[in-house]
Structure formats: C-alpha cells, structure tokens
Chain A
Amino acid sequence: MDNKAKIICVTGGKGGTGKTLCAVNIAVMFKDAGHNVLLIDGDVENPNTFLLLGGELENPKEVPFFKPKIIKAKCSKCGLCAENCATHALLHVKDQYPIPILSVCSGCQLCYKICPEEAIEPDFQPIGWTYYTSVGGIDLLLGELKPSEMRSVAVVEALLEQMEEIMEKEPDKYDRIVLDTAPGAHCDVEALIDKADIVIPVTEPTKFGKLDLLRIIELIQLLKKDYKAIVNRSSLLGFREQFLEELKEANIEILGDIPLDDNIVQSYCQGVPIMAKNSEYKDAEGYKAFQQIFINLKKWLDSLGGN
C-alpha cells in the first residue's frame, strides 16, 4: 500500500477564478476530516493563502540566488565565461575584465564552473523568501518573490525542495498536501503541477474561462496528470447549464461547481474560510457546493488506490 502523502494541485490558468478560495477550503475540509494537511502557496508573486486563513506570516527564510562576482586579482580576461553565457549576462570586451549584467543572469552557475582561473565566486543574493508556519490550524508553506525579480520558479523550486525534505525526514507528518499555483501556465505553475497526483483547474462560466481552461488543460495533459475541473461562480448570468454542457462535450470532467454566493464573498473578506469548523454559513449554497466537491474529491482519491 502506498503511504506517501497525496498531493492535490489547484490551478486554473485564468486569474481570479477562485484557486486560492478552493485550495484553502479543500485544505480545511481535509483537516476537519482528520487528515494531516500541508498547504503550499506557490503563487509567489501574490501569496494570499495566509490572508484567507486569517493569519500573519512570520520567520521568513531567504531564498538565495546565484550571481557571479569577478575576482580581478585572479582573472586573466580570457573571456571564456562571457563566450559561454547563454543569456549574455557577462559583457567582455578584449583586454578588459568581464562585466556581469546581473539583470539577465539566469543563475545557471556555468561561468563559475568553467573559469580556468577560478576567478568567479558565487555571490548569493536573496530573490525571495519562504515561510513555514501554522495559520488557522493549517500548516502552511508559502513562497514570496522579491518584487522586480524575474525568476518566480526559483522560489517555487525552493518550496518544493522544502516539501521533499519534510516528506523524506518525516514521511508520516502529512498525508494530504494541497498546492496553490499562480495564474498562467508558466514554468512556475508547471513545476507545481508536475509534483501532483491529481490536478484541479478552477474556471468560470465565460468565454475567457473556457479558453484559459483549455490552455491549462494542455499543460496538465503535457505533464500526463489526471484532472477534474471546478466551475466557480457557476450561476453567473445564467450560463451554468450551457457551460457545463460545453465542458461535457469537450470531454472535460467536472469535480463540481460553486454558485455565486454572497456568503462566500463575506467569509472571504472576513479572512475566515467558509468551510471552517464553526462556520456560520452552513446553510449557504456555497457551503453545500463545497461539501459536494469534497465528497467527489474523496471518491476520486479513493479510486486511485492507496490510503
């Protein structure tokens, strides 16, 4: 029997569809069902999960990123580093020391590795931070990219490294890991989908929603992952039935749909997940929709085998 933690990735492509809403409430529902849950916020440009859990972030851990430093005393000005830099991040003019253009440096460390005089030293600069904390009773591992930095995926990779470390050192600590991704289909999103056992793209019943859903499904299929969609705000403008029919015709399986519900918005603004144990919204349509989604999710996980 496979005792490894089940990893559920919530994504969607389109921004603002309700990924964080779904990821947080799914994590809460698993916790209340007796599971040991880790929620990973991989939307490192705008990590918001902690807000929806009504908490604060503490103990930032810097994510270091390699930048080259030229040691002039050792440098022979041969230019080998600049010649081989794929992003032209080292500018070399004959008889001069190479000049790092740090804004385009990809951190690959090739220059450091090939310098025949060992004249390049790593100068690690923080590109962002990770936080490993407990908020609202849920263990949260969250990443934050330093504004103006380019490589979000570097912070996501730091999160995934931390996750792997925890899974290796304390394999029984968690049995459900929920990943929340950024919008889009960039490599930071890909890195998270790739780690998942199942993927839940969240969409909305509009043309934009459908198109972006098809795009993210392309990425999910490229990574050969099993997926079922959630249609959020499904009662929007009366398009629900038509939209669900369109998805059915496109062979896209639905995990569930969530109608427009002011109660969801209220709890969201309060910073309390609607599915929290003592929720005051137990009669709300949105609450019942999430309950049904959870039932379907449990069935889906059971069908995959393992615990």
Chain B
Amino acid sequence: MEIRQPLPAVISLLHRVSGALLFFPGIPLLLCSLDMILDSPQGYAQFQSLLTNPLLKGVLILSLWFFLHHFWAGIRFLALDLHYGDTLEQARFSSKMVLAAGIILTLLIAVLMW
C-alpha cells in the first residue's frame, strides 16, 4: 500500500530530516571549515584544495540544500505561527515556494562555485 502525503507534510518531514542532518554532520563540518579558514594561510590553502575534490564538493552542496530548505521551511513555520498564510490554499502554495526556493538557490550557488 502506498501512502501519498500532501506537499505541506513532505515539507514538514524534510524540515525534520534536514534539521537532524544539519546537527550531524552539518555542525562539525561547519566548525571544521571555519577552523581551517581562520587558522592560517596553510589551513586556508588546505581547505581550498579539499574543495577541488568533487565528492567533498558534492557533500558541501548537499549540506547547502539541507540548510537552505531548513531556512525557508523555518521561515514558513514562523509565518504560520503568526497566522500568515494558514488557509489550505496558501499553505499549499507556500510549501511549493519553499521547496523551489531551496532547490533553485542551491543550484545557483553550486553553479557559481563550480
């Protein structure tokens, strides 16, 4: 049996999944990067050379999507708390916007980075 979830439910679940992934490995990756960038010119160069690795670049872009999705979905939930856009139609529309904004911004930054 297949259960089809409405889009707002998918957005909500993705918010939770992305949140867990931002906790781990997101936070340690962020701190490691900041540590390398600010430590010394050698550390900075090492960070840059790590980023030429396509696998690590992929990890970074995926993390970026988790972050951006979590960011936009979080702002949507804050708006819903204040009763902005909590009719069914608006909620469906804003969940589409959240999903699109996360993916489009991620792709845009990925293209700029590559």
Question: A and B: partners?
Answer: no
Q: B residues touching A (Cβ–Cβ < 8 Å)?
A: none
Q: A residues touching B (Cβ–Cβ < 8 Å)?
A: none
